[in-house]
C-alpha cells in the first residue's frame, strides 16, 4: 500500500464517517474506493464493516457523552437488527460475485436517486420531539422494520442510514438528533454480528480495514459534534460521481483493474 493509497483511504474515511453519522450514504464512497483498490466486492463489503464498526463506537460514545442516548429503545431495536444482519450477511456471501455486483449497482443507483431528489424533505415532516409516545403497536412495527433494516445492512449496508432515519421519523416522531443517536447504536450493534460472518468466511482485508477505520472514526467524531451544511454540496457531487463510476464498473460497462 503506497502513501497516495493511504491518503486516499484516510480522506475517504473521514468523509464517509461524517456522512454516516449525520445522515447516511458514506459506504457509497468507501465501497467504490475499496473495489477500485482491487478488492473483490464481497471482501470490500466485509472490509468496509471494520471501519463502520469503529466509526459507530466513536459516535455512540460522543452522543452518550452529550446526553442523547436511549439504552432501552436502542437495545429493543438492536436485537431484531442483529438477527436480520446475520441472515443478510450470509446471503451476501452465498451469492455469486457477478450477481452480487449487479444487485449492489442497482441499489447504489436507487440510493443515488434518493440523494439527488431528497424525497424526505417533501414527505417527511421534521419531528418536534412532542410525538415521542411509543404505543405497543408502534414499538411492534419498529421491531419488525428493524429486522429488515438489519437484513439490508448485513447484505449491502450502503445507504442504510437513510432507511433508518426515514423509519424512525415515520414510526416514532423523535427529534433528528435522537434519531441519529439511535441510528449509530443500532448500526454499531448489528455491524458486529455481520462483521463476524465476513471474518469467519475470510472476507476482510485487515490492513485496509483498520486504515479506513482511522479515517471513519475521525469523521464520526466531527459529524457527531457538528451538523455542518456548508460542505453538503461538494460532498454530494463527489458522492454522485463515485456512485456512477462504481455502478458502471459493477454492471460491466467498462474495465478497471485497480490502482
**Residues 233 and 81 sit within 8 Å (Cβ to Cβ):** no
CA 147-53-110 angle, 5° bins: 55
Distance between CA atoms of residues 87 and 142, nearest Å: 18
Q: Which of 208, 204, 189 is nearest to 86 (CA)?
A: 189
- Say if pTM beats, i.e. exceeds, 0.75: no
**Residues 235 and 222 sit within 8 Å (Cβ to Cβ):** no
**Residues 173 and 106 sit within 8 Å (Cβ to Cβ):** no
pLDDT in tens, the chain (259 residues): 788 888 989 999 898 888 777 666 677 788 888 888 888 888 888 899 898 888 888 878 877 776 766 777 888 888 999 999 899 888 888 877 777 767 777 776 776 676 666 555 555 454 444 445 566 777 888 889 889 888 988 887 766 777 777 777 777 766 666 777 788 788 888 888 888 888 998 889 999 999 999 998 888 778 766 644 444 555 556 556 666 766 676 666 755 444 4
* Size of the chain, expressed as the number of residues it contains: 259
CA torsion angle 79 15 247 117 (round to 10): 80
Tell me how crowded residue 61 is: count the other CB atoms within 10 A of its CB: 15
Q: Is the dihedral of CA 144, 63, 211, 14 positive or negative?
A: positive
Amino acid at each position: 500500500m503506497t502513501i497516495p493509497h493511504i491518503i486516499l483511504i484516510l480522506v475517504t474515511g473521514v468523509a464517509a464517517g461524517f456522512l454516516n453519522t449525520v445522515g447516511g450514504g458514506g459506504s457509497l464512497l468507501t465501497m467504490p474506493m475499496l473495489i477500485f483498490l482491487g478488492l473483490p466486492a464481497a471482501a470490500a463489503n466485509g472490509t468496509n464493516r471494520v471501519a463502520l464498526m469503529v466509526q459507530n463506537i466513536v459516535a455512540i460514545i460522543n452522543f452518550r457523552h452529550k446526553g442523547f442516548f436511549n439504552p432501552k429503545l436502542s437495545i429493543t431495536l438492536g436485537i431484531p437488527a442483529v438477527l436480520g444482519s446475520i441472515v443478510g450477511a450470509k446471503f451476501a456471501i452465498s451469492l455469486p460475485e457477478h450477481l452480487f455486483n449487479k444487485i449492489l449497482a442497482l441499489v447504489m443507483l436507487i440510493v443515488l436517486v434518493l440523494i439527488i431528489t431528497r424525497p424526505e424533505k417533501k414527505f417527511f415532516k421534521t419531528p418536534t420531539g412532542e410525538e415521542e409516545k411509543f404505543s405497543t403497536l408502534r414499538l411492534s412495527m419498529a421491531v419488525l422494520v428493524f429486522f429488515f433494516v438489519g437484513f439490508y445492512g448485513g447484505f449491502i449496508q450502503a445507504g442504510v442510514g437513510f432507511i433508518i432515519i426515514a423509519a424512525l421519523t415515520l414510526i416514532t416522531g423523535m427529534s433528528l438528533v435522537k434519531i441519529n443517536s439511535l441510528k449509530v447504536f443500532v448500526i454499531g450493534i448489528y455491524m458486529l454480528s455481520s462483521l463476524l460472518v465476513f471474518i469467519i468466511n475470510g472476507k476482510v482485508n485487515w490492513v485496509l480495514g483498520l486504515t479506513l477505520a482511522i479515517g471513519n472514526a475521525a469523521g464520526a467524531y466531527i459529524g457527531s459534534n457538528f451538523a455542518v451544511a456548508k460542505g453538503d454540496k461538494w460532498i454530494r457531487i463527489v458522492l454522485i460521481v463515485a456512485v456512477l463510476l462504481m455502478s458502471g464498473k459493477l454492471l460491466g460497462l467498462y474495465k478497471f483493474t485497480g490502482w
